[in-house]
Structure 1
Amino acid sequence: MSGILSVSAFVTLDGVMQAPGGPDEDRDGGFPHGGWSVPYFTEDLGAIIDEQFAGFSAFLLGRRTYEIFAAHWPHITDEEDPVAAKLNAAPKYVASRSLDRVTWHNAQLLSGDVGRAVAEVKEGTDGEINVQGSTDLIATLQRHDLVDRYRLVVEPVVLGTGKRLFAEGTAPAALRLTHSRQTAGGAVYCEYERAGEPTYGSFDLDTYEERMRGIRGTGV
């Protein structure tokens, strides 16, 4: 039994994922753009997110995201709300060096080395473990090459500052686009899965001409 670890994120065209949901969500570094994602949230995007949540088996959260979620979602008791129902019922693993306990139903605090602890969670989980928010945690997971899938909502805005999805030190990896869909608000939902290691080439004159002959099939 081994689970798949996925990362869900709202990102700008320049890769920022900090504080998409509100001005006070994450002001680290004096970030002035909190809530930038809200104008692009449309009914069809909501349906995509509902569909995602239906397939998750467990969640992995950093401290800040855990505290935001735990203060909100337990109060949403509508069983017809697929996001609330799944978050409140499913196992939740919390990676934090500062918390000494977690009280949300079915939540468990991870201890020790985060990379090792998450690898053990993956080995013991049948299904998809999803990371919501948790920018700093994502960076740690990327350095340990633990992310198998990205579920990204790419939104048509550039901020120029803020925490980015792929931070310095991310382990190199090739990805394969497995699904994409444009929403009514102009956002694009994209799913990417790991596809081994990066490959490299060259566009110097000789290799460019050879490559173009292969692509065109003209023999010119």
Structure 2
Amino acid sequence: MRATTGTFSRGLRFALAAFAIALLARIGFEFWADDLQAQPLEDAPIAVAGGGALDARIRLRARDSYRLQLLFVIPADGRERLRNLLAEPVRRDGQQVSEGVVVPLRWSLSEADSGRVVAHGEPRTEGLDAWSGDTFWREAASFAAPPGWYRLRVQATQPVPELAGVTTLINVGLRPKASSSWQTEWAWFGRLLCVFLDPLLMLAALLLAWFAGRSWWVARRAAAAPA
């Protein structure tokens, strides 16, 4: 009986150790994936109405496909007006010249240490690509570069007075479902896999708690039993 109990206790300790390793790996993966998929630049203001500029230091964590977006914060009482301003066709001499008011930009991405430019462009942004409850989005550019620290410069090459009073922001982030590095592939796949693994970890935790409690109770009864 004692040999059986000892074997059970060793098996339980091994199972607890394996569970602890699996749990630490799960937590570590979450921190790693969050850091990898964090936006290199989030909600940085740029005054496009007055031809403003942005100069920011950003970090790319993987060589992947990134996108630069313009975000327009929707005023509390001006959603329809802003939507029309950004998306309604603009006509001149009977011809459509743009989809919504144009925000012309000039941007460059350069290595923080050497200053070498690795990507640049002069997009003529127009229209709407997406929206949420409080924001309209336009995609301005896309680029790929090795992991590291960079200097991002964005300039509104002409004032856009139509957007006076509208808070305009710039985001840089990964392109969803367009990853090209093994890190982002693993992050996307790992998060999907965790949807199925997390319930199994919870079940394993409950089973181990039950076995540990049973082992403690058996050991206590054995210690209390008369010799």
Asked whether the two chains share a fold, i.e. TM above 0.5, the reply is no
User: In proportion to residue count, which structure has more strand?
Assistant: 2
**What TM-score, normalized by structure 2, do the two folds share?**
0.20
Of the two, which has the highest radius of gyration?
2
| TM-score (structure 1 length as normaliser) | 0.21
Q: Of Structure 1 and Structure 2, which has the larger fraction of its residues in helix?
A: 2
